Amino acid sequence: MKHPTEEHDLIRWIDGEMNETERTTFEERLKQDPALATEARQMRALSSSLRTHLPAEMRVPHEDFFNTQIQVRIAQMAQDDARAKQASSSWGDILQWMRQPWFALAGTAALAVLGFFMLSPATGDASESMILSSYTPNTNVQARTYHDNGAEATVLMLDGLDAVPAERKVSGINIQRSEVEPELASTTMYDHKGTAVLMISRDALGNPMLTPRG
C-alpha cells in the first residue's frame, strides 16, 4: 500500500491537477521508478477508457412518456393542493369513506378502485376526464393515473403490486356522472349509458355502504 501522499500525487498527475513544477518533479520520479511509471501509465489508460465509455448524455428510454409522467405528477400535486382546500365539501366526506379500511373490496388482492368523473359529460371528451380520488386496499400499493392522448385512454399505474397472473380479470367502474341526495345522505353514480351502477350511502349504524345498482 502506498503512502497517501504518493496516492494523491499519482491521482493528481493522471488528472492533470498538478502545476508545472509539481508535474516536472513527479515525472522525474517516474523515470527513477519503472514500477510506478507502469502503474501511472496504466491507470491513465483506464481513466481514458472510462471517459470514452461513460457518456455524459444518454437517450432516455420512452422519453415522451418520461416527460408526460412528470407533467402528470405535477398536475396531481396541484390537484392535491386544491383538494386539501376543499376538505369540508360533501364530496370530501364521501371520498373519506373510500379511504376507510372497510372499503377493501377484494381482501388480499391489491385492486384499485377509481372514481372517474367527467368534467363535461355532454362532450364525452375523454381528455377532459379528471380522477377525483383513488383508493388501494393494500397500503403498499400506490395508484397513479394519467391520460394518454395518443391512446385516448386513462392509464392506471399500480406501484408496489405483486405480479398479477395474466388470467386474472381486472375491472373498474367508469362513472360518467353522479347525483347527490342530501336528504338520504346518498350518492348515486351513473355510467356512460345513464344507468345507475353504484350507490354510496350509510347503514343504520352510520357505516358507509356500497350498493350495486342496475
Partner 1 sequence: MPASASTDPGEVSDLDLVKRSQAGDTRAFDVLVTRYRGRIYAMTYHLIQNETEAWDLAQEAFIKAWRALPSFKHDAGFYTWLYRIAHNVSYDWLRKKKIQGDGEFDDERTEHRVAAGAEATPRGDLAPDAALRNAELGQRIQEAIAKLSPEHRQVIVLREVEGLAYEEIAALIPCSLGTVMSRLFYARKKLQEQLHDVYETSN
The footprint of partner 1 (CB under 8 A) covers 1-2, 4, 7-8, 10-12, 14-15, 17, 35-36, 38-39, 41-43, 45-47, 49-63, 66-67, 69-71, 73-75, 77
- How many degrees, rounded to 5, is the angle at CA 51 between CA 45 and CA 54? 130
Taking the complex as a whole, the smallest distance from the CB of residue 127 to partner 1 amounts, in Å, to 16
Closest to partner 1 by CB, 8 vs 192, is 8
CB atoms within 10 A of CB 205: 6
User: Using CA atoms, how far apart are residues 117 and 3, in angstroms rounded to an integer?
Assistant: 69
E strands, the chain, where? 113-118, 129-135, 142-148, 153-159, 177-181, 186-190, 196-202, 208-212
- Beta carbon nearer to partner 1, 72 or 131: 72
Size of the chain in residues: 214
Least Å from the CB of residue 141 to partner 1: 16
Nearer Cβ to partner 1 (7/93): 7
The cell for 200 is 354510496
In the complex, the smallest distance separating the C-beta of residue 5 from partner 1, rounded to whole angstroms, is: 10
Q: Taking the complex as a whole, how short is the minimal distance between the CB of residue 67 and partner 1, in angstroms?
A: 5
- Which helix (H) or strand (E) segment holds residue 212: the answer is strand 208-212
User: Smaller CB distance to partner 1: residue 18 or 109?
Assistant: 18
